[in-house]
Amino acid sequence: MKKELSIKSLLNIIGLFIFLGMIIMAITNPLTIDPNIGIYQNDKAIMKGKKLYEFAIFILISSFTYFLLVQLYFSTPKGRKVFFIVLSVLAIAAPMVAIYLER
Q: Is 36 part of a structural domain of the chain?
A: yes
* pLDDT at site 23: 87
For residue 74, tell me if it sits in a domain: yes
Please report whether residue 83 resides in a domain.
yes
Checking DSSP bridges between strand 31-33 and strand 39-41, what pairing results, if any?
Answer: antiparallel
Question: How far apart, in whole angstroms, are the C-alpha atoms of residue 71 and residue 27?
Answer: 29
DSSP 38-60: -EEE-GGG---HHHHHHHHHHHH
Cα–Cα distance between 88 and 69 in angstroms, integer? 12
Tally the domains of the chain. Answer: 1
- The domain in which residue 59 lies consists of 7-102
pTM summary value: 0.77
Residue 2 lies in a domain: no
Is residue 1 situated within a structural domain? no
**For 4-62, how does the pLDDT look when each residue is reduced to its tens digit (9 = 90+)?**
888 999 999 999 999 999 888 877 776 777 777 777 776 776 777 888 888 889 999 99
Domain presence at residue 41: yes
